[in-house]
Structure 1
Amino acid sequence: MRAVLIEPFGGAAGDMLVCALVDAGADADFVKGTMEAASGLEVEFRRTSREHISALALHVEGGDEGKRTLEEVLTHIRGSRVPQEVASMAEGVFTLLARAEAAVHGEPLERVCLHEVGQQDAMADIVGVCAALLDLGALPVYHVPPIPTGWGTVETSHGTYPVPAPAVVEIARLCALTTCRGALEGERLTPTGAALLGALSKPLPSPMLSMRTHAAGYGAGSRDKGANVVRASIVELHALEHDEVCVLETNVDDTTGEELAYLTERLMEEGALDVSVVPALMKKGRMGSILRVIARGVDVERMASLMALEGGTLGVRVYHSMHRMVARREMRKVDVDVDGMRERVRVKVALLPDGTPFSLKAEHEDLRSIAKRRNIPLRRLSRIVEGEAWRMVRE
């Protein structure tokens, strides 16, 4: 899957993000024209350097000091000559900014004034990022957490505020952004940068994802100290889907096979993702079993209680937040000819990220029912069904 990857290791601001995307391959003339149409300003991309990293920086001529309500900003953008897709994306970003400002100042959304983030240069930045993403093909956008915010204080229209600014904190809360202070003093994550990342991107699901980079660009911030840049890359992600699960384990040595089978069935009925029983040699040479359960975090307490109740165990080991790679799966129905009669069987198909099937398995209950009804061997029926399923998925 091709995607845009944002790495805000030097922080993130609107001008930095638009420059990084242009440096990564977005059409500079298209982005520039869209920014100027929305803001009424003259903008220019200039080559610069931060800590010996070549990057683009944004130079803006003019700008106002005015303040606008959310409706005034949206009306202005809708009335400008920008593509509808860009206006729609920008509307989501500005709405997020207004929600954060309303929460910080305790005002209704329709009355809150957007000060710095409602000015012409902020409009140019936000519309520019949206235009760049559209030009790059409206690809999925991911960012690499945590996002450094910086530390210290910052001057705003309301006075001196701590870093991160209250609006940044509120946006991080609303969008579940993972942040950190970082090593560099000063404001590194602006409200505009936070809103763009929160509204338009998702966190990279795992640091273990493999990828191939097609292009990369850097956008420079206004500070000279440190690598004050953000990197945007066009990447091809090569990985299975990821999620986080919990693993529960316990050792049992006084439970019969029938009791373990019943417990396994109960655990699956209660929402366990998988249950396995592993033979083990216990203390004093007794034969026992390791009962292992994979479950979602919200189900851990219920699973542990059931393991204790039905398995008689005095303790359960719980491993939290285990990363799991899982193949995308689809359930398909396959019509097959079995000794001159048509039968329909459900087949589970496993797919690679690009949609290529790599494994399939006929549902056992369907096979069992047909085998008993038709009085044919289960293994033979399984080969017939799965052979026909492979022909179907390859067409």
Structure 2
Amino acid sequence: MRIGYLDCFSGISGDMLLGALIGAGWPESELHHCVESLGLEEVRVQVSRETIQGLGAVRVRVESDRSQPLRHLPQIRKVLEQSTLPLRVQRRTMDVFHRLAEAEAVVHGCAADEVHFHEVGAVDALVDVAAAMAGLDRLGIEHLTCSPLPMPTGFVRCAHGELPLPAPAVCELLRGVPVYGVNLDQELVTPTGAALVRELAREFGPLPPMCLEQTGYGAGTMQRRDGRPNLLRLMAGSGFPAREAQRVEVIETHLDDWNGELWPHVSQRLMDSGALDVSLTPMLMKKGRPGYLLRVLVEPARGPQLRQLILTETSAIGLRSRMEERTTLPRRSVILETPWGPVQAKEIDTPSGPVITPEYEACRLLATEHGIALQTVYRTITAAAATGRKYDKE
């Protein structure tokens, strides 16, 4: 699977993403064809290659010889439906504008169809979004990860007057997204860029494991006053196949005044809801009171669901969470032959060679059904593993 990483060290805008896509290998001719497919009169793009603080980058400018009308969501939809863009590109472009309209509607207190697209709905935004969708499709990027986004201070001038940075629509679009503050009074993340990120990125965080194949830099229109390059970096390559997530969220809480007899039920619910691992550790809390440390490992996408479950099923009134990287050994399920029938086990590829370990529940069930000691089952399975009497689970 081809994956991409948006390194937004200087934020993101639609034109920066187009430049990064061309820098990463999207043919410039296809960008021009995409613009022609929109059917907008006297609209074109200018592409230039520049060196910015020693880095080769691509700058994309959308130009028009006539003023473009203000558009509402229905007019954007009409333009796309009348275009000759592929249906998938039309649909994904419309999804981005729906996000923009809903965010602007919340900010301005109106319905989404009533939103006047000013800066974000001008012709350049329409070109930026549609072309970005076409470029990602052409590069075959199926999974996109985005870095945390920088949030500046100050004000930006727009059709509604001067608004605080980050722009209100950007704040609405980036709810739930990792951000951090920077001491700069210039806009870094535009509403169009924020909407693209929310629609395209499957996760936010550090660079995922990949075999890096292309890197492209897209140049923004302004020059940063702090001297740093105003660039967006797109890194693309082939993802490493993995059976499970290598970047996990760790959720923890301290529990007191809680009945530990409920733990089997809670742990089973957590595992059924997608937890990768759960643990409950006895501990002494402040003033010498006994309590527990509850820890859950989960893929980041499932974090909100499990946090809600913990707050519902335990006495926790607050949770801590953090992202961690982990390394796991390859493993697979196998079936071992025993005198009492087949039993499930795990074969783990360790640095010193494969190791087979039986599954506890499978051994317990076998011992119960045949009325034999559990340790007898374990010894027999170990012997079976040594003789190689196994086969992969279907």
TM range (shorter): 0.7 to 0.9
User: Which structure's CA Rg is the greater one?
Assistant: 1
- What residue in structure 2 maps to residue 370 of structure 1? 366
Question: Aligned pair 1:132/2:135, yes or no?
Answer: yes
Of 188-197 and 65-74, more deviation after overlay is shown by 65-74
Quote the residue 1:35 is aligned against: 35
- Measure, in 2, the Cα distance between the counterparts of 1:178 and 1:322: 12
Deviation at 1:127, TM superposition (A): 0.8
1:274 partner letter: S
Shift of 1:240: 1.6
Q: 1:321 to 1:137 in 2, by over 3 A?
A: same
Give the partner amino acid of 1:124.
V
Matching residue within 270, 274, 279 for 1:274: 279
Please name the residue that 2:182 is paired with.
182
The residue number in structure 2 matching 1:51 is: 53
Are 1:247 and 1:322, in contact at CA under 8 Å, matched by a contact in 2? no
Counterpart in 1 of 2:154?
A: 152
Who is 1:245 aligned against? 251
CA RMSD of aligned residues (A): 3.9
**Contact between 1:362 and 1:385, CA under 8 Å: does it hold in 2?**
no
Taking a change above 3 Å as real, the CA distance of residues 84 and 362 of structure 1, as seen in their structure-2 partners, is farther
Query: How far, CA to CA, are the matches of 2:117 and 2:319 in structure 1?
Result: 46
Equivalent position of 1:214 in the other structure: 213
Residues in 2 aligned to 1:70 and 1:123: alpha-carbon distance in whole angstroms: 11
Alignment match, 1:80:
83
Equivalent position SS for 2:10: coil
Q: Do the aligned residues in 2 keep the contact of 1:12 with 1:190 (CA within 8 Å)?
A: yes
Q: CA deviation at 1:64?
A: 3.3
Q: How does 1:1-395 map to 2 (within 5 A)?
A: 2-38=2-38, 40=40, 41-62=43-64, 64-145=67-148, 147-173=149-175, 176-205=176-205, 207=206, 210-225=209-224, 226=227, 227-236=229-238, 240-246=246-252, 248=254, 263=260, 266-271=262-267, 273-276=278-281, 293-295=294-296, 320-324=320-324, 325=326, 338-339=338-339, 342-343=341-342, 345=343, 361-374=357-370, 377-383=376-382, 384=384, 391-392=391-392
Q: 1:133 and 1:155, CA in 2 relative to 1: closer, same or farther beyond 3 A? A: same
Q: Is the 8 A contact 1:6 1:143 kept in 2?
A: yes
Amino acid across the alignment from 2:143 = P
Q: Distance in 2 between matches of 1:228 and 1:10?
A: 5
**SS, match of residue 43 in structure 1:** strand
Return the letter of the residue paired with 1:275. Answer: L
- Residue 45 and residue 329 in structure 1: after superposition, are their counterparts in 2 closer, same or farther (change >3 A)? same
Give the C-alpha shift of residue 389 in structure 1: 9.5
Contact kept in structure 2, 1:219 and 1:230, CA below 8 Å: yes
Q: Who is 2:273 aligned against?
A: none
Structure 2: segments with no counterpart, 5+ residues: 271-277, 285-289, 297-305
* Partners of 1:25 and 1:389 in 2: CA distance: 51
TM-score by structure 1 length? 0.74
Mapped to 1, the partners of 2:62 and 2:207 lie a distance apart of 39
For the residues of structure 2 that align with 1:168 and 1:76, how far apart are their CA atoms? Answer: 25
Could you give the per-residue CA deviations for residues 327-350 of structure 1, whole angstroms, max 9, x where no partner exists? 699997x766544x755x555688
Which residue matches 2:301? Answer: none
SS of equivalent residue, structure 1 residue 270: helix
Deviations 1:183-205 (A, max 9, x none): 33322211101111111114434
Letter in 2 for 1:220: A
CA-CA distance at 1:75 after TM superposition = 2.0
- Note the C-alpha offset of 1:161: 2.0
Structure 1 gap segments, 5+ residues each: 251-261, 281-288, 307-317, 353-357
Once the 2 structures are TM-superposed, how far is the Cα of residue 302 of structure 1 from its aligned partner?
Answer: 8.4
- TM value normalised by structure 2: 0.74
Give deviations 1:66-107, integer Å, cap 9, x for gaps: 211112102211221111221121111100000011111111
In 2, the alpha carbon distance for the partners of 1:181 and 1:373 equals 61
Measured in 1, the distance between the counterparts of 2:387 and 2:197 equals: 47
Once residues 153 and 231 of structure 2 are traced to their aligned partners in structure 1, the CA distance between those partners, rounded to angstroms, is 17
Aligned length: 350
1:272-295 per-position Cα deviation (integer Å, ceiling 9, x unaligned)? 7113579x9xxxxxxxx9975424
Give secondary structure in 1 for the equivalent of 2:110: coil
For 1:154 and 1:241, how far apart are their aligned partners in 2? 36
